[in-house]
Structure formats: structure tokens, C-alpha cells
Amino acid sequence: MAELNIKQKRFADFYIETGNATESYLRAGYHAEGNAAEVNASRLLRNAKVLEYIKERNEQLDVEFIADITETKRFWTEIMRDEDADLKDRLKASEYIAKTNGAFIDKKELQGGFNGKITFGFIDPALEEN
């Protein structure tokens, strides 16, 4: 991860938590009067090392806290195979697994001709040329 000083790191962590740069700047231990906190917080958000840290930390948080499709499908599989679970829950889990595997894709066969014209929107038949 990017090399930051303690206040920069605290600012970035508070910013990830709150989304408020000025509040994060003050909570990180920086002191400012007037609109200096807003200006300096904005400057920190343009700092390449701070931005890199925020990006990397958000990616870590995504991995730690947000289930990916594999984890989700494992969870559904556990429910589906749990003989003590309600049948409706087991069926719903199997439906979700099937849907993510493409089992319920509707296929429609279209028949007809193509006259070579592609139109968008409404065309008044009275104005259409032959």
C-alpha cells in the first residue's frame, strides 16, 4: 500500500467510512480555521498516494465484506442440501442456483422477412415512402 503519514492514513480511513472529506480531515487530527479544512481536505483527496490507499483499502473491504457469486452459490447450495431447512427455502435456493447457471433462459424464435430498413421511433405510414 501507499506510504502515508499517520494523519493522511487516518484521513483516508475516515473518508472511506463517512464520505465527507472535511469531517474526515478534522477527525484525522488536522486543525484548520474558516474554510481551510474544506480546502485542505480537497487537496488531500487529489494526493496520488492518498487516492491509491483509498482505492486499495476499498478493494480489500470488498473482498472482506461483499460476497462474490461463488460464495453466494455455496450458501444457496448449503441451504438446498440442508434436509432440516423448509422445503420452500430449499426450492428457492435451487431456483437461484439454476438461474445463475442459465437454466431458465427464454428462447424465442422469430420468423419473418427483412426489408433492409431499420427505423427508430414512430413513423407515420402516410409519410413513409414506398
pTM passes above 0.85: no
Q: For 62-111, how does the pLDDT look when each residue is reduced to its tens digit (9 = 90+)?
A: 888 888 889 999 999 999 999 999 999 999 999 999 988 888 777 777 77
Q: Are residues 55 and 82 in the same domain?
A: no
What value, to the nearest 5°, has the Cα angle with vertex 93 and ends 89 and 96?
140
Burial class (CB in 10 A: 0-12, 13-18, 19+), 16: middle
| Domain total in the chain | 2
CB of 53 closer than 8 Å to CB of 4: yes
pLDDT at 128: 60
Buried b (16+ CB within 10 A) or exposed e, 98-123: eeeeeeeeeeeeeeeeeeeeeeeeee
- Indicate whether 112 pLDDT > 90: no
Start-end of H helices in 1-130:
6-18, 21-27, 36-45, 48-65, 69-81, 87-100
Handedness of CA 9, 12, 16, 22 (dihedral sign): positive
pLDDT at 108: 72
Q: Are residues 96 and 60 in the same domain?
A: no
| Helix axes 36-45 and 6-18, enclosed angle (nearest 10) | 90
Residue 42 domain boundaries: 6-65
pLDDT at 102: 83
CA 19 to chain centre: 16
| 112 is a domain residue | no
| 124 is a domain residue | no
| 24 is a domain residue | yes
